[in-house]
Structure 1
Amino acid sequence: MDAVQVIAAVVALGVAVVGLVLFVRAIVTIVRTIKLGSPDFSRTNDKGARTKTMLREFVGHTKMVKWQAVGVAHWFVAFGFILLVATLANAIGQLFSPEFVLPIIGHWWPYELVTEFFSVATIVGIATLIVIRQRAHPRKPERKSRFAGSNFWQAYFVEFVIIAVPICILLIRGFEAALTGHASSWSIHFAFSYPLGALFEGASHGALETAIVLTAAVKVVVSFAWMIVLGLNPTMGVAWHRFSAFFNIFFKRHADGAVALGALRPMTSEGKPLDFEEADPEKDVFGVSQVEHFSWKGMLDFTTCTECGRCQSQCPAWNTGKPLSPKLLITGLRDHAYAKAPYLAAGGGKTMEGEEKGSAEALAGVPAAALAEAERPLIGGLDSLGVIDPDVLWSCTTCGACVEQCPVDIEHVDHIVDMRRYQVMIESSFPSEAGVMLRNIENKGNPWGANPNDREDWMKNLGFDVRKVEQGEPLPEDVEYLFWVGCAGALEDRAKKVTKAVATLLHEASVSFAVLGNGETCTGDPARRIGNEFVFQMQAMQNVEVLNAAFEERQPGARKIVATCAHCFNTLKNEYPEIGEDGGNYEVVHHTELLSTLVRDGKLTPVTPLEQNVTYHDPCYLGRHNRVFSAPREVLGAVVDASPNATLTEMPRFKERSFCCGAGGARMWMEERIGKRINVERTEEALSTGAEVVAIGCPFCLTMLSDGVTGAKAAGTASDAVEVMDVSQLLLKSIQPAAEPAKPADTPLGNPVSAEEIGPNA
């Protein structure tokens, strides 16, 4: 080897040693920081299913392919990173001998073909991602970019490394082709690099060897410089996710791979579900008030964030000018956790009384920056240097768009609600109007504070009797469904029209059902989403007791409930099974699911043309949280098929990417003072389709979009003909003859329900 080659080898190996040391040190730092989180005993069950989920999500890129070109490009980059690792070992060998190849596989043509193919594919893939990133660069208006707030220098550095390494590989292969005489024609051994070999064919043997050593040295330096940068930046999620994502996916909430939506994680203390009858406020942790109160999985979530901004791009709060960005919330918690970690690792922390845990001797060696970070409150405004601003925390609608879109399975909603729990139950710090809602639930059994004795008023003047189950009594044997009306359906004027429509349709289809009437009370959904777990548990236990009594003589498959409210549906189906010793296990269906079955079975047949174009809004807690997308569309499709001049048009954002109405997360009862109103944004999107009917499947959405359409009419941006109607109202309108003669009151549809009582709501 000549002097140039020796110097190149020495420099490359020196960088490699430093890189390995810093890289290993950073791994130790990351693992120690993650372990500072509180226990979580629910993440290690069914390891076989978890392994399959992890492999399926990675190999299939199931989250990324939804974004088409981005997903395909990222797949090649991700697999290139893994499959090209062996070339780094080969390059290190070439620092000592230009002719060096890996034993056994070095000259094996499948290995060489895969290496060259993925080198080219990685270059094309990262170039595609670079172009996409630049096109989405946060220029004015900045908030429209999903990369707004991301660390751009980190992304640029990673992109440089990813494109530099395969270029070095192909150059080395080209030099090898010229050195071994394979440059004159195509060869399976140099399938993609032989044109480069042709360029270098005239060079001398010594020059080619020197070129190989120097290029190998560059490859080694670039690769280990990447490790140095990662080693110095353990919070560099855009790079570290290449390793942590596998673990984050493996330890996701559901072993089968389901998204962490639907039910909220139960409130825990030291990893165990909190029993309020036995909880000790002086020992147990109520929610999250300090970053170390997050579970180790939360810490892993923070570490894994790639800052891709997919959550941010879909967040209704961020898209309407509010301070909440799920991405920036997670990265803020990440930066805080790692800055505070030295203090926590030294035994620092606060007791429930606010006293210091760690000894003075142990904390003496903690850096001043970590001590200062430890003094920051987790929730607080600029005046208190809080990590998370209160307006960020209370802007969330818990719609789940962030969780749905995250390619590495970060569970944003659970973390937000955990922080809300502490603020509500311990600090009593939350929007004042939400306090009224909570008191109404506790005192009146509904969030509006309406008289609970009014829950049966909707049954008046239906033209047929609605069967009622008295509290504590079982359902009659001939009743198939218990109709859970819900607070809105029983007490809110617009939602009562939907309740009447559903009851009428079930009666018309000869479906036997009964209601609890005044025996119903709020499911507790608003209380749980705002963070008051105690009120939720109180409501849930009361309802489960009533429901279990009603279903006492029923086998599990016959404990059927139909609900019109997406939030009641979600709570009854997903959260009540955890309540009490036996749990509340029921077969819960949404009314659109039941109506879809009845239409499919011919028990309800649309015949009357509507002559109106329709668009459908997916309620978050029906669609994204519970994957009910087809049923309401099947009902609407049948209605439209009976109407030659009607169409069903999707909004730009629909199904998994549907835009929230703004009412979830107890936002229905909180003022929206910052930015544009979320319901106005969604209303404008609905009106942009040209539809004359905005169909919905949830009373929360009904209220929000009706208000949005009413406002648009007042502003002159919507026609007076535009209506907001539940799917059931449209179906009932379609199965009733347009000019129906008077019928006796005992016939199915011969009831005195007026169009105003079941008709449009805006």
Structure 2
Amino acid sequence: MDSLQVLQAVALVIALAVTAAGVALFVATLARMVAVLRLGQPDPTRTDALGTRLVTTVREVVGHTRMLRRRWVGAAHWFVMVGFVALVGTLATAYGQLTDPGFVLPVIGHFPPYEWVVEAIAWLTGLGILTLVVIRQLQGPRAAGQPRRSRFYRSTTWQAYYVEATILAIVVCVLALRALEYAYESAEGAGTATLLHYPLTAWLGEALVGISTGALAAAITVVAAVKIVVSMAWFVVIGLTPTMGVAWHRFTAPFNVFLKRHASGRTSLGAVQPIRVGGEVVDLEAAEDLPDDAALGVGSASDLTWKGLLDVTTCTECGRCQDQCPAWQTEKPLSPKLLITSMRARAYDDAARALDGHDSGSDALGRPLVGEVAGGGDYAGVPAGWERDPHADVLGSLVAAGAGSDGAAMSEDVLWSCTTCGACVEQCPVDIEHVDHVVDMRRHQVLLADAFPTELGNLFGNLEKRQNPWGVGAKQRMDWAKGLSFPVPVVGGGGPDDVDALSEVDYLFWVGCAGAFEDRAKKTTRAVAELLHTAGVRFAVLGPAEACTGDPARRAGNEFLFQMLAAQNVETLQEAGAEPGGTKVVVTCPHCFNTLGNEYPQLGTQLDVVHHTQLLNRLVRDGRLTPVSAPDADRRDVTYHDPCYLGRHNGVYAPPRELIEASGTRLTEMPRSGTTSFCCGAGGARMWMEEKLGTRVNINRTTEAVATGAGAIAVGCPFCRVMLSDGLTSLQGEQRAPESTEVLDVAQLLLEAVRRGQPAGQSQESAEPAGQA
């Protein structure tokens, strides 16, 4: 046996050994991951419209629709993804080359189109992974002025570097083998080593021509063995690390996309999912029959659905969610990324206990996800409120409890810092549903643990007793209409200008609690009413019969209070003659817009709901409202703040902007706008909670708005108006904003422009013009 044969024998033994280990560990871990998912609670909503889901998956995965929101990252990642699949044939070829340096795959091995694709993809994959490495370095915590500003802060760095090094090593091996094959075939005189077969590596192969056949054969054997060992070692590593989402997402992400909430591919925002026990929806009536130990919401890993477990399994720790999170960007302990990775580590740790029989009984997966945590300081860069991973030397991530502890995965401050703005869900390239997880954990804290911020006690009390967050009497719901020069009909009000049923009007004007009780929001309500009246739109309101839609209660976790308020409103709507799917409703509050339009259907009530900017924009287009621009000397710049529940949750971006431009003002966009807009800080019931940690979200956003130099900040939400107005007042008090800058609703800008076109004395003096906001 000559030296080449010895080398080939050794290489073959090593390759087969590492292959056996890699495949065995991968299959075993994959089976265990499936077993972990099977521990999850049922979720019967994920397998409808299979054909549509398949189309959505192909579109999102192959089209990289989410990834390409960051153009260079998306393009680089696409080539890496394609290379992972397209270069599989080169791995099969490498096994043959261990014993035969001239081995090629049957049929396609020397088929030019296949060879062209392999070489092109190899080069592009290498370029792609190098691009991602550079981006990680440029955007990493060390490169950032403030480490928390990096989306990779607290990501498990070694895992990412290992994956990147593996891909780069495989690409180098593929290209090296192609060059060696070119030289080997030339030395053998086979006559096939031409540009036709080696279009992008022939220039490398030419440098090797002249080396002896034996040396080339040995080099091919060594490089092929290295390629196999690197590839199979990767399977060994991920087999030993089931929480390595940066690697496992290659297998789990397509399934997570396929099983996302909406088969059509719509982002998993808008409606909050109803509360379930054992896969069945629980309403107020059913709740009375639940056993005492029924899990309401998510209190431990055992309460997660199998889809929730798939969610946390799939996280790649890319940090796009963290990069967009208003809580994290204002120095609060919540990071959506760390929320998911801590849930993942706790879930897999608890699942191991259950599957391996280390625990028994109901506590096998019962350690709390939220509660008091050990310590509370800042551990090696870990924010206060998170515990240090007992396996940090191996995993480098955050998990539930310290070594030997049964403490919680995260502090309550982490959970209650969320504004449910949806930026995390919007940005996540693998469709993780962060907001649903947050709301489910809040449900457990409120309904079972009785652990929630004290301010929410007042909110819940006001909602239960007075049906509005302010605790104001229902009789005052019509105070906003006092002084208007036209009547505002009330459905079933009994007055001469009132109506008996909704069938008598074009729209039900859902005023909302803020629009009825908050002084700044009342100006929006009056402006919208005047514009509808001017346009000849017949509308009516529910008046004292209207109650809060329940949005703050639901997002604060008080599901049954939400259902109580919703049931009251549904009954009121039925008594008012609302027709299923036929009654048109216009609202000024995006939270009411979202709840009435997306969540009341869960209770069997279908309404045709539009936001006031949508309806007003339609009226302008139809010529029923005619705005007139101000003279050039009086024209001012306006910047627009996208409300989260209008934009991200419901995709309404264009109508407000079109109205601003129709009003004759110049629109100046903030750097963070549209799908990347920054939250005002009021969502998720944060409007009624003190902001004690970090810096204020509304100050952050208002500072950005003022920096545009615009004379006015336009909004389309009463809560955004309150938050930005307060932020502006604070900045003006510190002389960081011009005194002339004001916060206005888009409707007020339109009303000002419409009044310019009206004959003198016709405008409604009782409704404040924009300048008096």
TM-score range, shorter chain: over 0.9
Q: Percent identity?
A: 53
Match of 2:201 among 193, 201, 207: 193
Quote the offset at 1:405 in angstroms: 0.2
Match of 1:661 among 680, 694, 701: 680
Match of 2:508 among 473, 482, 497: 482
Q: Which residue of 1 aligns with 2:220?
A: 212
Q: Which residue of 1 aligns with 2:692?
A: 673
Q: Which residue of 2 aligns with 1:169?
A: 174
Cα distance between partner residues in 2 of 1:470 and 1:344: 59
Conservation of the 8 A alpha-carbon contact between 2:717 and 2:745: yes
Name the Cα RMSD after superposition. Answer: 1.9
Give the partner amino acid of 1:546: T
Cα distance between partner residues in 2 of 1:123 and 1:575: 47
Cα distance between partner residues in 1 of 2:369 and 2:26: 31
Conservation of the 8 A alpha-carbon contact between 1:724 and 1:760: no
SS state of the match for residue 388, structure 1?
Answer: coil
Runs of 5+ consecutive residues of structure 2 not aligned to the other structure: 376-405
Give the partner amino acid of 1:209: A
Runs of 5+ consecutive residues of structure 1 not aligned to the other structure: 351-355, 359-370, 641-645, 744-748
Cα distance between partner residues in 1 of 2:458 and 2:616: 36
Q: Which residue of 2 aligns with 1:313?
A: 323
SS state of the match for residue 573, structure 2?
Answer: helix
Q: Which residue of 1 aligns with 2:210?
A: 202
Cα distance between partner residues in 1 of 2:525 and 2:441: 35
Change (3 A) 1:170 1:734: same
SS state of the match for residue 585, structure 2?
Answer: strand
Q: Which residue of 1 aligns with 2:384?
A: none
Match of 1:154 among 153, 159, 164: 159
Q: Which residue of 2 aligns with 1:724?
A: 743
Matched, 1:49 2:52: yes
Conservation of the 8 A alpha-carbon contact between 2:523 and 2:767: no
Quote the offset at 1:4 in angstroms: 2.1
Give the partner amino acid of 1:6: A
Give the partner amino acid of 2:315: C
Change (3 A) 1:348 1:666: farther
SS state of the match for residue 323, structure 1?
Answer: coil
Conservation of the 8 A alpha-carbon contact between 1:729 and 1:759: no
Quote the offset at 1:377 in angstroms: 5.2
Conservation of the 8 A alpha-carbon contact between 1:262 and 1:621: yes
Match of 2:561 among 511, 535, 538: 535
Q: Which residue of 2 aligns with 1:400?
A: 422
Q: Which residue of 2 aligns with 1:365?
A: none
Conservation of the 8 A alpha-carbon contact between 1:456 and 1:490: yes
Cα distance between partner residues in 1 of 2:520 and 2:493: 27
Match of 2:246 among 215, 230, 238: 238
Conservation of the 8 A alpha-carbon contact between 1:15 and 1:225: yes
Give the partner amino acid of 1:142: P
Change (3 A) 1:184 1:428: same
Match of 1:296 among 282, 295, 306: 306
Match of 1:626 among 635, 650, 654: 650
Cα distance between partner residues in 1 of 2:521 and 2:728: 16
Q: Which residue of 1 aligns with 2:401?
A: none
SS state of the match for residue 724, structure 2?
Answer: helix
Conservation of the 8 A alpha-carbon contact between 2:466 and 2:474: yes
Quote the offset at 1:278 in angstroms: 2.1
Q: Which residue of 2 aligns with 1:746?
A: none
Change (3 A) 1:434 1:375: closer
Quote the offset at 1:141 in angstroms: 0.8
Cα distance between partner residues in 2 of 1:699 and 1:684: 19
Quote the offset at 1:284 in angstroms: 2.7
Q: Which residue of 2 aligns with 1:735?
A: 754
Q: Which residue of 2 aligns with 1:706?
A: 725
Change (3 A) 1:377 1:484: closer
Quote the offset at 1:3 in angstroms: 1.7
Give the partner amino acid of 2:300: Q
Quote the offset at 1:578 in angstroms: 0.9
Change (3 A) 1:8 1:35: same
SS state of the match for residue 240, structure 1?
Answer: helix
Matched, 1:382 2:397: no
Give the partner amino acid of 1:448: W
SS state of the match for residue 755, structure 1?
Answer: coil
Cα distance between partner residues in 2 of 1:659 and 1:732: 27
Change (3 A) 1:374 1:499: closer
Cα distance between partner residues in 2 of 1:374 and 1:709: 46
Give the partner amino acid of 1:683: T
Conservation of the 8 A alpha-carbon contact between 1:23 and 1:228: yes
Change (3 A) 1:357 1:724: closer
Cα distance between partner residues in 1 of 2:641 and 2:236: 49
SS state of the match for residue 209, structure 1?
Answer: helix
Quote the offset at 1:548 in angstroms: 2.5
Q: Which residue of 2 aligns with 1:28?
A: 31
Cα distance between partner residues in 2 of 1:233 and 1:503: 60
SS state of the match for residue 71, structure 1?
Answer: helix
Cα distance between partner residues in 2 of 1:313 and 1:454: 43
Give the partner amino acid of 2:203: P
SS state of the match for residue 639, structure 2?
Answer: strand
Cα distance between partner residues in 2 of 1:186 and 1:172: 15
- Deviation readout 1:36-77 (Å, 9 max, x if unpaired): 111111111111111111100011000001100000000000
Cα distance between partner residues in 1 of 2:74 and 2:191: 35
Change (3 A) 1:357 1:755: closer
Cα distance between partner residues in 2 of 1:426 and 1:496: 37
SS state of the match for residue 482, structure 1?
Answer: strand
> Residues 124-523 of structure 1: matches in 2 within 5 Å?
124-139=127-142, 140-181=145-186, 187-279=195-287, 280-345=290-355, 356-357=361-362, 375=367, 378-382=370-374, 385-470=407-492, 475=501, 477-523=503-549
Q: Which residue of 1 aligns with 2:397?
A: none
Q: Which residue of 2 aligns with 1:639?
A: 663
> Residues 590-605 of structure 1: matches in 2 within 5 Å?
590-605=611-626
Conservation of the 8 A alpha-carbon contact between 1:177 and 1:183: no
Cα distance between partner residues in 1 of 2:258 and 2:650: 22
Conservation of the 8 A alpha-carbon contact between 1:614 and 1:648: yes
Give the partner amino acid of 1:115: V
Change (3 A) 1:708 1:740: farther
Q: Which residue of 2 aligns with 1:753?
A: 766
Conservation of the 8 A alpha-carbon contact between 2:628 and 2:757: no
Q: Which residue of 2 aligns with 1:693?
A: 712
In the superposition, the TM-score normalised over structure 2's length comes to 0.91
Cα distance between partner residues in 1 of 2:99 and 2:688: 71
Conservation of the 8 A alpha-carbon contact between 1:470 and 1:519: no
Quote the offset at 1:327 in angstroms: 0.2
Q: Which residue of 2 aligns with 1:561?
A: 585
Conservation of the 8 A alpha-carbon contact between 2:312 and 2:343: yes
Conservation of the 8 A alpha-carbon contact between 1:183 and 1:194: no
- Which sits farther off after the overlay, 204-213 or 561-570? 204-213
Give the partner amino acid of 1:108: F
- Deviation readout 1:104-136 (Å, 9 max, x if unpaired): 111111111111110000000000000000001
Cα distance between partner residues in 1 of 2:179 and 2:613: 63
Q: Which residue of 1 aligns with 2:396?
A: none
- Which sits farther off after the overlay, 691-700 or 19-28? 19-28
Conservation of the 8 A alpha-carbon contact between 1:77 and 1:126: yes
Match of 1:551 among 558, 567, 577: 577
SS state of the match for residue 714, structure 2?
Answer: strand
- Which sits farther off after the overlay, 620-629 or 19-28? 19-28
Cα distance between partner residues in 1 of 2:36 and 2:513: 45
Cα distance between partner residues in 2 of 1:37 and 1:665: 26
Change (3 A) 1:736 1:12: same
Change (3 A) 1:721 1:256: same
Q: Which residue of 2 aligns with 1:613?
A: 637
SS state of the match for residue 468, structure 1?
Answer: coil
